[in-house]
Each structure stands twice: as structure tokens, then as C-alpha cells.
Chain A
Amino acid sequence: MSASHRPARVVTGRAAGRPPPVGELTCQELVELVTDYLEDALAPEERARFEAHLAGCPGCTRYVEQIRATIAVAGQTPELEDRPEMAQLLAAFRDWRRR
């Protein structure tokens, strides 16, 4: 953990030693809800809990950013895929064209 974002934790109240409010998500729980959150599949009160946690937690904010980055990188994978079967398929395409 870098020191740069530590102050953000202080404002959550947790770092000041107060117990988390009843019903607040832990980070470990939040990471299991990320997909439901991004898919807009959380019930309104669950979504509110999720966003309340996120607003005060730099770690989970980064985690959600990492998931978004993962989605973006996945979208770029086709350009690097090898297609050894392409020659055979192109031959089939040429045959089809001559039909």
C-alpha cells in the first residue's frame, strides 16, 4: 500500500477507531458483488451499500477500476489470436465462391 492514499481512509471513520456501521459491506464481500454491480443487477438497497463502501474505500475503488481495465483489455485480445485453421477455411471460402 502506498502512503499517498492513506488519508482517504481516515475520513471513513473506520481508521479513527469507530466500528463500521451495521450492515456495511467488507471489502471481501464487495469484490463478490462487483459483477452484479456493473451489470446493474443489485437491488436498490444493495447498490446503496455497495456505493457507500466504495465512496470511502480506496482499495475497493482500485479493485473496481482493475475490473473495468480487465474488461477493456479483454476487448483487445482478438488482434493477437493465432488462427491456424484460417488457411483451410479460406480454401473452403474459395470453393464456395466458385460454386
Chain B
Amino acid sequence: MEQPEPAGGASAPEAELLARLRAGDEAAFEALVARHQGTMLAVAQSYVKGRAVAEEVVQDTWLAVLQGLDRFEGRASLRTWILSILVNKAKTRGVREARSVPFASLAGEDDEPAVAPGRFRGAGDAYPGHWRADPGNWAADEVAGDRETIRAALGAIAALPPTQQTVIRMRDVEGYSSEEVCAALDVSEANQRVLLHRARSRVRAALEEHLDG
């Protein structure tokens, strides 16, 4: 599921992708955009206010990527390089809008429980804090590869606050390692885990509603 990238130097598939991009292969560029656009929008929205401004920042980033592609040396992975351009542009734009650093503090973020408290037995019960009814048994073919389920997950991810959306997209959608996320966003391991936890909990709850609801 996770595809950690090598720390230094371009991997073979990445070298091939770079060659195709430099040769003007539109399909390669389209695949690159399709793969990264969702995360890039989430990252941008973490720093700037509003979807429209975030889209501008992402658009500017792609233009800068094209401008720099011939000079890109592959010391970092391609996605790390793209993300560094994006974060730089988004930060600049965010500073202009006097927005705070989004990943440094979790204050003001929701702190809702992973599972609704009503799902657990109350204090007067013989087993307080234990499931009233066990969670459903999700058959593998019911979830993995079912378009409606994937669509429900996509909707739930898109509805998350930008910082949570950024982290779940990087980790679970695109398979970045936690080290890559922390480095790219300048977020601590602990804060990253809190964001990932909230995001996964909410998406699971949405899938539960979709599958068992």
C-alpha cells in the first residue's frame, strides 16, 4: 500500500517519468497532475483562505514546475520538489493574507471523539466504555474496489478541514511516509498523527454510514 520513495536520487520509474515529461509527453503530464492535484489543493487551502486562491496557488505551482523541469536534478523526489514549490508559494500568499502557520498548532481544530460516545456503554453499565453493538464486518469486496464506497470516501475526504485533508491525502491516498509529510509541511510527528487520526476516524465513520447505515 505504501510506496516509500528513496531518500536520495531518482528511482528508475521516476527517471523515466522525468524523461517523458521533458520530451513533452502529455499523457505523462496529465497523470502527474491527476496524481498530485488533490493533495496540492488541500495543502494550499491549509495556508490560504478560500478555494479560488488555493487554485491560483496550485496553478502557479504547475507553471513553476514546468519552468524548472529542465533544471530539476532529481536530488529530491519529483513530488517532494513540487510540494516544496507549492508550500513556498502558499506560505508567501498566506503571509500576505496574515494567515497563521497552519500545522504548527492544533488549537482551534475540532477535538471530536473518533467514535460517537453513544456507541459505547454508559457509566451505569456493567462494562462501561465497551461497545453497545460491535462495528460491522466489512467484507473485503464490499469496500475495496467498490465504486460507490470509493466515492463515499472521496466525499468524506473532500469534506475534511484542509490540514486533516492534507495529511490523509499524503499518507493514505498517495502513500507518503510520515517522515516525508513532516518534512514537507514542517509539522511534528505528534501533530501529524493527531491530524491523521481525526481524518481517518471521520472517513471511517462516513464509510460506516454508507455501508452499514
Contact B138 A69 (CB under 8 A): yes
Report if B110 contacts A (CB, 8 A). Answer: no
Contact B207 A66 (CB under 8 A): yes
Query: Whole-angstrom distance between the alpha carbons of A63 and B143 in the complex?
Result: 14
Query: Whole-angstrom distance between the alpha carbons of A86 and B38 in the complex?
Result: 12
Chain-A contact segment, one of B4-12, B24-32, B89-97: B24-32
Query: Whole-angstrom distance between the alpha carbons of A2 and B134 in the complex?
Result: 8
Query: Whole-angstrom distance between the alpha carbons of A27 and B115 in the complex?
Result: 10
Residues of A within 8 A of B196 (CB): 35, 39
Contact A76 B144 (CB under 8 A): yes
Q: Which of A52-79 contact B (CB under 8 A)?
A: 57-60, 62-63, 65-67, 69-79
Residues of A within 8 A of B197 (CB): 32, 34-36
Report if A92 contacts B (CB, 8 A). Answer: yes
User: How many B residues touch the partner, as a band?
Assistant: 35 or more
User: How many A residues touch the partner, as a band?
Assistant: 35 or more
Contact A73 B207 (CB under 8 A): yes
Contact A86 B30 (CB under 8 A): yes
A-B contact pairs, 18 of them (CB 8 A): A5-B134, A14-B127, A14-B130, A28-B120, A28-B129, A31-B113, A31-B115, A59-B131, A59-B134, A59-B135, A74-B157, A74-B168, A77-B38, A81-B34, A86-B33, A88-B59, A92-B62, A93-B24
Most buried by A among B30, B140, B153, B196: B153
Contact B173 A75 (CB under 8 A): yes
Contact B34 A62 (CB under 8 A): no
Interface of B is mostly: helix
Residues of A within 8 A of B127 (CB): 14, 20, 26
Out of A28, A39, A58, A72, which one reaches B134, CB within 8 Å?
A58
Contact B29 A85 (CB under 8 A): no
Contact B35 A78 (CB under 8 A): yes
Question: B interface vs A, CB < 8 Å?
Answer: 1, 24, 26, 29-30, 33-35, 37-38, 55, 58-59, 62-63, 66-67, 69, 113-115, 117, 120, 126-131, 133-138, 140, 143-145, 147, 149-151, 153-154, 157, 168, 172-175, 178, 189, 193, 196-197, 200-201, 203-204, 207-208
